Amino acid sequence: MLSVFSDEHFMKQALEQAKMAYAEGEIPVGAVVVSNNRIIARAHNQTERLQDVTAHAEMLAITAAAGGMGSKYLDECTLYVTLEPCFMCAGALAWAQLGKLVYAAADDKRGFMKQGKEVLHPRTKISYGVLEEEARTLLQQFFREKR
């Protein structure tokens, strides 16, 4: 059973963002930032729409969360994202001193874990595999249609 405020609950919200990206022809990655069991930012990939290679879901969510909190540090926040962050996004998460990162599907090609969790801030907690199958299926379907 899905309980409110669980990792699964918030990852489902990130998956909704990924589906929005999919519908817009963007790589289907979605993210939400949570503080005190409340979503303070939602975002999905917009690299095509904005013609900006840095417009990843994580980067947009970090910017929105920091603006909403009035602080560049997100040490009391959790980021839920449907795909393992890339090196660029992991670097931004390190600078933001993110409290916790939860991602669904691993990215064996471009994910930050190729370099190790040391890419993140030392106090950032990591959890992964939450709703992995749903996230992976959406990504695979997107790329199958693109081929």
Tell me 112's DSSP state.
G
Q: How far, rounded to the nearest angstrom, does the alpha carbon of residue 10 sit from its chain's CA centroid?
A: 11
> Rounded CA gap, 32 and 41, in Å?
5
- Please report which helix (H) or strand (E) contains residue 40, including its range: strand 38-44
Please tell me which residue in 8, 48, 58, 132 is annotated as part of the active site.
58
Report how far apart, in Å, the C-alpha atoms of 105 and of each of 34, 65, 72, 113 are: 19, 23, 27, 12
Q: Reduced to 3 states, what is the DSSP secondary structure of residue 11?
A: helix
58 as an active site residue: the answer is yes
Query: Based on C-alpha coordinates, what's the Rg of the chain?
Result: 14
Q: Which residues are tagged catalytic?
A: 58
